Structure 1
Amino acid sequence: MTHNLKTWNADQLKQMNEETFLVEVLDMIKISPVTADTDSDIEKMKSKLAHVEAMIKDRLEG
Protein backbone atom coordinates (compact mmCIF):
# COMPACT_ATOMS: atom_id res chain seq x y z
CA MET A 1 0.00 0.00 0.00
CA THR A 2 1.47 3.33 -0.98
CA HIS A 3 1.30 6.20 1.45
CA ASN A 4 0.43 9.24 -0.66
CA LEU A 5 -1.47 12.05 0.97
CA LYS A 6 -2.87 14.93 -0.98
CA THR A 7 -2.87 18.16 0.92
CA TRP A 8 -5.05 21.21 0.58
CA ASN A 9 -4.97 24.43 2.50
CA ALA A 10 -8.04 25.63 4.41
CA ASP A 11 -9.09 28.03 1.63
CA GLN A 12 -8.97 25.28 -0.99
CA LEU A 13 -11.10 23.03 1.21
CA LYS A 14 -13.69 25.77 1.68
CA GLN A 15 -13.94 26.34 -2.07
CA MET A 16 -14.69 22.69 -2.88
CA ASN A 17 -18.32 21.80 -3.31
CA GLU A 18 -19.62 18.94 -1.17
CA GLU A 19 -19.38 16.34 -3.93
CA THR A 20 -15.79 17.19 -4.78
CA PHE A 21 -14.80 17.23 -1.12
CA LEU A 22 -16.32 13.80 -0.45
CA VAL A 23 -14.84 12.28 -3.60
CA GLU A 24 -11.38 13.56 -2.65
CA VAL A 25 -11.70 12.23 0.91
CA LEU A 26 -12.91 8.80 -0.21
CA ASP A 27 -10.25 8.63 -2.90
CA MET A 28 -7.60 9.44 -0.32
CA ILE A 29 -8.75 6.73 2.08
CA LYS A 30 -9.29 4.02 -0.55
CA ILE A 31 -10.86 1.60 1.89
CA SER A 32 -11.04 -1.86 0.41
CA PRO A 33 -13.07 -4.85 1.61
CA VAL A 34 -9.86 -6.57 2.64
CA THR A 35 -7.37 -4.63 4.69
CA ALA A 36 -4.05 -5.93 5.87
CA ASP A 37 -3.58 -5.91 9.59
CA THR A 38 0.15 -5.39 9.89
CA ASP A 39 1.33 -2.69 12.27
CA SER A 40 2.63 -0.68 9.34
CA ASP A 41 -0.73 -0.76 7.52
CA ILE A 42 -2.61 0.16 10.69
CA GLU A 43 -0.32 3.15 11.29
CA LYS A 44 -0.79 4.28 7.68
CA MET A 45 -4.57 4.10 8.04
CA LYS A 46 -4.44 6.02 11.34
CA SER A 47 -2.39 8.70 9.61
CA LYS A 48 -4.88 8.94 6.75
CA LEU A 49 -7.82 9.14 9.14
CA ALA A 50 -6.13 11.87 11.19
CA HIS A 51 -5.58 13.80 7.96
CA VAL A 52 -9.26 13.34 7.02
CA GLU A 53 -10.30 14.59 10.47
CA ALA A 54 -8.19 17.71 10.01
CA MET A 55 -9.71 18.31 6.55
CA ILE A 56 -13.24 17.98 7.91
CA LYS A 57 -12.43 20.29 10.82
CA ASP A 58 -11.04 22.94 8.43
CA ARG A 59 -14.11 22.56 6.25
CA LEU A 60 -16.55 22.93 9.15
CA GLU A 61 -14.76 25.92 10.63
CA GLY A 62 -14.88 27.74 7.28
Structure 2
Amino acid sequence: MAHNTKAWSSDQLKQMNEARFLVEVLDMIKISPVTDESDNSIDKMKSKLETVEAMIQDRLDT
Protein backbone atom coordinates (compact mmCIF):
# COMPACT_ATOMS: atom_id res chain seq x y z
CA MET A 1 0.00 0.00 0.00
CA ALA A 2 1.41 3.37 -1.00
CA HIS A 3 1.57 6.17 1.55
CA ASN A 4 1.00 9.63 0.15
CA THR A 5 1.97 12.66 2.16
CA LYS A 6 0.19 15.87 1.37
CA ALA A 7 2.09 19.13 1.42
CA TRP A 8 0.65 22.61 1.53
CA SER A 9 2.36 25.93 1.09
CA SER A 10 2.29 28.47 3.89
CA ASP A 11 -0.19 30.59 1.93
CA GLN A 12 -2.50 27.61 1.37
CA LEU A 13 -2.48 26.83 5.09
CA LYS A 14 -3.31 30.43 5.96
CA GLN A 15 -6.26 30.47 3.55
CA MET A 16 -7.90 27.33 4.98
CA ASN A 17 -10.71 27.94 7.41
CA GLU A 18 -10.46 26.09 10.73
CA ALA A 19 -12.89 23.33 9.74
CA ARG A 20 -11.06 22.51 6.52
CA PHE A 21 -7.70 22.67 8.27
CA LEU A 22 -8.81 20.19 10.93
CA VAL A 23 -10.32 17.85 8.33
CA GLU A 24 -7.07 17.89 6.36
CA VAL A 25 -5.01 17.20 9.48
CA LEU A 26 -7.23 14.36 10.66
CA ASP A 27 -7.33 12.87 7.17
CA MET A 28 -3.55 13.02 7.02
CA ILE A 29 -2.81 11.16 10.26
CA LYS A 30 -5.51 8.42 9.96
CA ILE A 31 -4.73 6.50 13.11
CA SER A 32 -5.69 2.87 12.71
CA PRO A 33 -7.51 1.11 15.55
CA VAL A 34 -4.89 -1.61 15.21
CA THR A 35 -1.51 -0.16 16.07
CA ASP A 36 1.47 -1.83 14.49
CA GLU A 37 4.40 -1.37 16.85
CA SER A 38 7.15 -2.00 14.31
CA ASP A 39 9.92 0.58 13.99
CA ASN A 40 8.80 1.39 10.45
CA SER A 41 5.25 2.12 11.59
CA ILE A 42 6.43 4.29 14.48
CA ASP A 43 8.77 6.25 12.21
CA LYS A 44 5.93 6.93 9.75
CA MET A 45 3.67 8.16 12.56
CA LYS A 46 6.44 10.40 13.95
CA SER A 47 6.95 11.87 10.50
CA LYS A 48 3.22 12.56 10.12
CA LEU A 49 3.04 14.17 13.56
CA GLU A 50 6.06 16.37 12.83
CA THR A 51 4.33 17.55 9.65
CA VAL A 52 1.13 18.27 11.60
CA GLU A 53 3.11 20.23 14.20
CA ALA A 54 4.72 22.30 11.44
CA MET A 55 1.30 22.98 9.87
CA ILE A 56 -0.15 24.09 13.20
CA GLN A 57 2.86 26.31 13.91
CA ASP A 58 2.50 27.88 10.47
CA ARG A 59 -1.16 28.68 11.24
CA LEU A 60 -0.25 30.15 14.63
CA ASP A 61 2.43 32.37 13.09
CA THR A 62 -0.17 34.24 11.04
The interval holding the TM-score normalised by the smaller chain is over 0.9
2:23 corresponds to: 23
| Count of residue pairs brought into register by the alignment | 62
Aligned-pair RMSD on alpha carbons? 1.1
- Relative contact order higher in (CA < 8 Å, ≥ 6 apart): 1
For the residues of structure 1 that align with 2:41 and 2:52, how far apart are their CA atoms?
Answer: 16
* Structure 2: stretches of 5+ with no match in the other structure: none
1:36 corresponds to: 36
2:11 corresponds to: 11
Moved over 6 A (4+): none
Q: Deviations over 1:2-55 (max 9, x none)?
A: 432100011100000000000000000001211100000000000000000000
For the residues of structure 2 that align with 1:34 and 1:57, how far apart are their CA atoms?
Answer: 29
Identity %: 71
